[in-house]
Amino acid sequence: MKFLNEKTLDNIKKDIIFVIARTAKEVEMQGKKIYNGVLGTLRDEDGNLFIHDSFYKIFNAVEDSLKASYATAIDGGEQFKNAIKQWVFQKNEFLKISEVVATPGGSGALSASLDKTLYEGESVIIPDIFWGPYEIMINSKKLKAVKYSCFTESGFSLEPLKEAIKNVMEKQNNIVLIVNDPAHNPTGFSMGKALWEELISFANSVAQNGKTVTIINDIAYIDYSENFEKSREYMQAFKNINDNVLVLFAFSGSKTLTAYGMRIGAVVVYANKQEDINAVHALLTHVARATWSNANNGAINAIIRLLENEALFKKDLLKATSLLAERRNIFITEANRVGLKFYPNNEGFFVTLVGIADNQKLYEYLIRKNVFVVPQMKGIRVAICSLNKQQCLELPKIIQDTIREIENEK
């Protein structure tokens, strides 16, 4: 293409998730029964978007003049920043020295976090089971993705990540890794405090003598942990970071608020030294101004008002997490009954099935049965957030029967 940089074209990767979702919708519009386990959008038992009423009542009450206005500051302003810190960290007071920049959704927070943290051609470390847009973002920054196996035969392990960090550190001084936790997309696994303490201890051991470690903690699904009060306990591990470790929290208003199209989120910056926090905040504010300018001011103001009364909003979240827990228990119980294998799962929007030799073939066979899921390199992601309880009961057997069909063809 004569209008574009040819090297840029080489890095373009198709996001298949929305392509599959569109196909599913087209089939559904033909009046056919489908199983739509594609998008990470929470739906009720009738297939409608699950909406947090407490948020939308407040958003609808925000004055039109505020919805139409630019935000008071590029980073969202003091009231917004304080509200986000209070919500994200809850009782972890030590983290509230952090700084915040408002972003267009969790994706904006992740994308901004990858800006200027490394030099062109350097590597970002991610697990080999991951949310596809990570790699799209990494490539768009002219960086490379280095992947490690987060699950071994005995379950989840940090050892492959430690090896990846050591290997990358031989080639570059600054290490950047993305850790999507709690409620990892796509497996639904949560590490917990002990594993986080192990990771921080290792990060401290290598972040010495001119080397640094930046941990991007993608917390998109943190508010769908099955126990809200315990969901932030792992953050206590960050008390122990040394001066060469930086933590960037990527918060998603899309997920927390059920406001997917509103595009509001935040990146929260934490380090030991205030001067480091301020420097990174200044950089991210610059990135914001150069990229999207302002975040959604109506959403900013609604968040400020909403979080003045957390208790009401937490009731909405409890309804959602209870529904997800029911669906997960149904799906996993039935998967175990029929012998369908899946990766360790604790909470969140998804279950990921252990792959077969040809995941693409399995995906294609499932489409013939009007089952829409997301194929991955090492498995099949099922969005239980968008399936009702009856579908969660039926789907494991359909998938397991399809796997047997493929195996019998050999």
pLDDT band at 1 (very low <50, low <70, confident <90, very high): low
The answer to which of 139-153, 315-329, 352-366 has the lowest mean pLDDT is 352-366
3-state secondary structure of 180: strand
Q: Looking at residues 20-29, what average pLDDT do you find? A: 84
The predicted pLDDT at position 410 comes to 66
Q: Looking at residues 240-269, what average pLDDT do you find? A: 97
Contact of 143 with 118, CB cutoff 8 Å: yes
Strands (E), 70-140: 99-103, 123-127
Q: Looking at residues 297-308, what average pLDDT do you find? A: 96
With CA atoms as reference, report the closest residue to 310 among 42, 54, 51. 54
Specify the higher pLDDT residue, 377 or 255: 255
pLDDT band at 14 (very low <50, low <70, confident <90, very high): low
Average pLDDT for the chain: 94
DSSP per-residue string spanning 2-16: TTS-HHHHHT----H
Domains of the chain: residue spans and CATH:
53-311 (3.40.640.10)
The answer to which of 15-24, 114-123, 250-259 has the lowest mean pLDDT is 15-24
The predicted pLDDT at position 153 comes to 75
Q: Looking at residues 12-36, what average pLDDT do you find? A: 82
Percent of the chain with pLDDT over 90: 84
**Other CB atoms within 10 A of residue 192 CB:** 16
**Cα–Cα distance between 342 and 387 in angstroms, integer?**
17
The answer to which of 9-23, 113-127, 155-169 has the lowest mean pLDDT is 9-23
Specify the higher pLDDT residue, 14 or 388: 388
The predicted pLDDT at position 16 comes to 79
**Cα–Cα distance between 104 and 128 in angstroms, integer?**
26
pLDDT at 59 exceeding the cut of 80? yes
The predicted pLDDT at position 26 comes to 87
The predicted pLDDT at position 376 comes to 85
The predicted pLDDT at position 13 comes to 62
CA 402 to chain centroid, in Å, comes to 29
How, if at all, do strands 265-270 and 379-383 pair? Answer: unpaired
The predicted pLDDT at position 114 comes to 96
pLDDT band at 378 (very low <50, low <70, confident <90, very high): confident
3-state secondary structure of 352: strand
pLDDT in tens, 72-103: 999 999 999 999 999 999 999 999 999 999 99
pLDDT band at 15 (very low <50, low <70, confident <90, very high): low
3-state secondary structure of 68: helix
With CA atoms as reference, report the closest residue to 377 among 147, 123, 138, 106. 147
pLDDT in tens, 33-44: 999 999 889 999
3-state secondary structure of 141: coil
Percent of the chain with pLDDT over 70: 96
pLDDT at 375 exceeding the cut of 60? yes
pLDDT at 361 exceeding the cut of 80? yes
How, if at all, do strands 374-376 and 379-383 pair? Answer: antiparallel
